Amino acid sequence: MKAADVRAMTLDQLDDEVLKLKKEQFNLRFQRATGQLENTSRVRVIRRDIARMKTIAGQKRVGSEPAVKADAAPKAAKPAAKTGRRKAAKSSPPRAAKRAVAHKPNKTKK
């Protein structure tokens, strides 16, 4: 379900829908455990729908509901990738040299 559809619902409708989805999630869990689940992607969709509805219900309860975007303007296209070579990085000692310097021998107990 789209977020815009969820935002149009009242708090009571949201609570009822979350309860319905939790029951479906419970049934899907048992189907998966017994090997009867055919549409495995439904588990993921239900989990995300529940989270979406709980988030929007929480926003409505607090009163910090964001403005609904009816038709978002299409994003501008990214500029073409630059061609050419990268600048050479500052030279650093090889990794083996770094490890040799950073390695400290273990202290042995006597």
Do the Cβ atoms of 37 and 69 come closer than 8 Å? no
**Coil, strand or helix at 67:** coil
> Which domains, from first to last, does the chain contain?
3-61 (1.10.287.310)
Instruction: Tell me the CB-side half-sphere exposure of residue 36, using CA atoms within 13 A.
Output: 6
* Calpha distance 92→15 (Å, rounded): 59
User: Could you report the per-residue pLDDT of 58-95, keeping only the tens digit for each?
Assistant: 999 998 766 666 555 556 666 666 666 666 666 666 66
* Calpha distance 24→18 (Å, rounded): 10
User: Could you report the per-residue pLDDT of 9-27, keeping only the tens digit for each?
Assistant: 999 999 999 999 999 999 9
Between residues 103 and 7, the one the model is more confident about: 7
Phi, psi dihedral angles at 50 (to 5 degrees): -60, -45
pTM, to two decimals: 0.57
